[in-house]
Amino acid sequence: MSSEDEGGSVALDPRIDLFAGSIAGIAALTVGFPFDTVKVRLQNPEFASRYSSVWHAFTTIVREERIRGLFRGITSPLLTTAPLNGVVFAGYGALLKMQLNNATDEPRLSQITLAGIGTGIIASVVTSPTELIKIQQQSIRTPTGGIAPTVQQVALEIWRRRGIRGLFRGFTSTAIRETGYGAYFGVYEGTLRLLSKLPSYDDMDEGPVDHTSLHSEAASSKKHHSYPSLLLAGGLAGVASWVVTFPFDVVKTRVQSSMVTSADNPYRTTLSTIVNSYREEGFRVFFHGLKPTLIRAIPVNMVTFATFETVVRALT
């Protein structure tokens, strides 16, 4: 990821950035995916009535579909981890740079949040078809001994029936949900600034930090904050990003669970899903699955941070 040159500034190797970020993403995805499967089942109106709680959903899936049922659909996001990280790294840096006179100027929290929002919208180009395929797989109940369709089979079936537009079904709700990157980056940086005894990066005895690089920022933060502080900031950031946009995660799941686009389908568009879901189930429907999501947020961020640092140290 990074190393320090003779002047004390942070030197970056983007190849290590991408590799370490991808490995960390894979580790975090693996740890948190069972909770994601439970969340999707609770949000999907075809399955929600079968489960009385998060624990009941978890145990029912394991009993009926074995452990592999909790990981159904993981292949699609695993395959896009590296390109998604590339989009996030490049997008965040470019959007923040557009707001700063110089890359070493310390950004305001509002600028960080705005760059994060834009990054999420750009990343939706990758996450939207990925999430669609994942949700389609997670919504399939396969009894013990049954064979679930593969990523390729699901993707080809969507392409055959709906074409390229079918693969991007739910893009609007996905893009709105991904604006949670704004809350994530803003809360993470804001928490570290509150916890730091030093008022700003400019007062730290180090060379200039490239604030437009996520991992230049991470390297600087690691030097001046303890592991508990970094883990706390990551956990709070993960929780905040989900709380802010979670209703649209529910909407996205419902839109992408149903591939029917006819007028009689209440989940055919983002707007129709919001209206019909509220009409049928009330305001609480937009927070179905929030509990397993928040439970997942803490270990996922801890694993992401720990894995990233381990890979970077091993390579540098």
**Per-residue confidence (pLDDT) for residue 298, from 0 to 100:** 79
Q: Nearest-5° angle of CA 150, CA 153, CA 159?
A: 140
pLDDT digits over 58-106, tens only?
999 999 988 988 998 899 898 888 788 778 877 888 899 899 888 788 8
Cα(43)–Cα(285) distance, integer angstroms: 8
At residue 199, what is the residue type?
P
Q: Which of 34, 52, 45 is nearest to 285 (CA)?
A: 45
Read off the pLDDT of each residue in 216-227 and give the average, rounded to a whole number: 71
For residue 20, name the pLDDT band (cuts at 50, 70, 90): confident
Q: Nearest-5° angle of CA 76, CA 64, CA 285?
A: 65
Cα(164)–Cα(152) distance, integer angstroms: 15
Q: Which residues pair with 3 in a beta bridge?
A: 11
Which backbone phi and psi does 3 adopt, to 5 degrees?
Answer: -150, 170
Could you tell me the end-to-end alpha-carbon distance of the chain, in angstroms, rounded to an integer?
A: 8
**Per-residue confidence (pLDDT) for residue 270, from 0 to 100:** 95
Three-state secondary structure call for residue 12: strand
Q: pTM of this prediction?
A: 0.82
